[in-house]
Amino acid sequence: MEKELERDTHQLNKDDNSGSVQIADDVVAMIAGIAATEVDGVSAMVGNITNELMSKVGMKKLTKGVKVDVLENTVSVDLVINIEFGYNIPETCRNVQSKVKSAIENMTGLEVTDVNIRIAAVNMKGE
């Protein structure tokens, strides 16, 4: 049974014989961000101004453009992405949703209830 142990950390399972497994929300967000950028047509994740400034000074954050809410054994994911020009937006978003859901569920055992996507920009070729 999962319970919140400390801020942004959740217990995945507890076994009296082996111990417990805990996972931070940032780990779930990192999995989502990496999975999303692996989909053809996604050019980048989009973050807030703080993340943008951090990436310019070499402190790139892998959770940029990703927000996760972990409750009980479920995860809700919000992504902000840029799409490459020429790709079908609904199809690309379905691929992102599928890839993110699959990656989180396979790697953490948590159930993904939804993957919400906001398109921030369309990148033209050569930019």
Average pLDDT over residues 55-64: 56
Average pLDDT over residues 41-50: 71
Q: What is the reported pLDDT for 49?
A: 43
**51 CB neighbour count, 10 Å cutoff:** 18
pLDDT tens by residue, 61-99: 667 889 999 988 899 999 999 999 999 999 999 999 999
Choice among 20-29, 30-39, 48-57 with the minimum mean pLDDT = 48-57
DSSP class of residue 42 equals: E
Cβ-count burial of 90 within 10 angstroms (0-12 exposed, 13-18 middle, 19+ buried)?
exposed
Q: What is the reported pLDDT for 15?
A: 62
Domain boundaries, the chain: 25-123
The gap from C-alpha 25 to its chain's centroid, in whole angstroms, comes to: 10
Length of the chain: 127
Phi, psi of 46 (to 5 degrees): -120, 130
Distance in angstroms (rounded) separating the CA atoms of residues 93 and 39: 9
The yes/no answer on whether domain 25-123 falls in CATH 3.30.420.10 is no
Average pLDDT over residues 39-54: 68
Q: Which ranges constitute the DSSP H helices of 1-127? A: 25-37, 49-56, 89-108
Instruction: Report pTM.
Output: 0.78
